[in-house]
Amino acid sequence: MTSIELPDESTDVAQQWVDEMDRYGITAMGFMVGAEAYDDFLEAKARFPGRFMGYANINPGDPEAAERVDKAAEDGLQGIKLYPSSWPELHVYDAACYPVYEAALKHRFPVFLHFGITIGGQADLRHGNPLDIQVPSRDFPDLNFVIAHFGAGFFRELLLLQYQADNVYMDSSGSNSWMRYLPYDLDLRKIFERAITTGGAEKVIF
């Protein structure tokens, strides 16, 4: 079981992030921002201009989801992120998700998606297949979709998607520990080689 030590309330988390970024020569960093941390993120973004990029966590099942995308644009965020395996009532190809895609397109937002395995036993992997985004990517050819963590276990499906969709990109962030759950040997070098071979280097976000 993974354990995460949370900072106490007196910790200046934003300053800690900036210190670490400076230590490693990082100019700016992207954060996936949930509703509970949204105001704190905006405060940090204002304190350290140009250092924090934000991607709002959106649930299309929320009746105000499209308005939340508009709010994210108004607040200067850079995109949105969706967690399909946490929506038991929706798939990413359902019509209920389309207003969110339309709002993202209006603001020229990229749409990050976390498919595949994730922390927590409540995730529903029936909603975790990257191929589910194929129809929306066809219906919104001018909207860029980014599949996080190389599909987090659905790497084969992500590669197949490269054949079908020019506007689907592959993100390489995270530990990529999902590799240990595959029935065949795979390492990061092989993953990058295959991703670049199928989609091209311009389709891989590092």
pLDDT score for 30: 93
Phi, psi at 143, each rounded to 5°: -105, 130
User: Over the chain, what is the mean pLDDT?
Assistant: 92
Tokens of 74: 């108004």
pLDDT at 2 over 70: no
% pLDDT > 90, the chain: 75
Contacting residues for 51 by C-beta, under 8 A, at least 6 apart: 17, 18, 21, 27, 28, 29, 45
User: Model pTM?
Assistant: 0.90
The pLDDT assigned to 1 comes to 44
Q: Which amino acid is at 142?
A: D
**What's the pLDDT tens digit per position in 50-60?**
999 999 999 99
Closest CA to 181 of 154, 157, 160, 159: 154
pLDDT of residue 175: 86
Q: What is the pLDDT of residues 128-162, one digit of tens each?
A: 999 999 999 999 999 999 999 999 999 999 999 99
Instruction: Give the pLDDT band of residue 93 (cuts 50, 70, 90).
Output: very high
Least confident of 2-6, 35-39, 162-166, 193-197: 2-6
CA-to-CA distance for 2 and 106, rounded, in angstroms? 38
Residue type, 176: N
Residue pLDDT, tens place only, 185-200: 889 999 999 999 998 9
Question: Quick one: tokens of 145?
Answer: 């979709």
- Decide if pLDDT at 3 tops 60: no
Helices (H), the chain: 13-23, 38-47, 65-74, 98-106, 134-139, 155-164, 188-199
**C-alpha span between 187 and 13 (Å, rounded):** 33
* Averaged pLDDT for residues 17-38: 95
Q: Is the pLDDT of residue 47 over 70?
A: yes
Of 58, 156, 57, the closest CA to residue 99 belongs to 58
Q: Kindly tell me if the per-residue pLDDT of 9 is higher than 80.
A: no
Domains and CATH numbers, the chain: 31-205 (3.20.20.140)
Q: Distance between CA atoms of 172 and 177, rounded to whole angstroms? A: 12
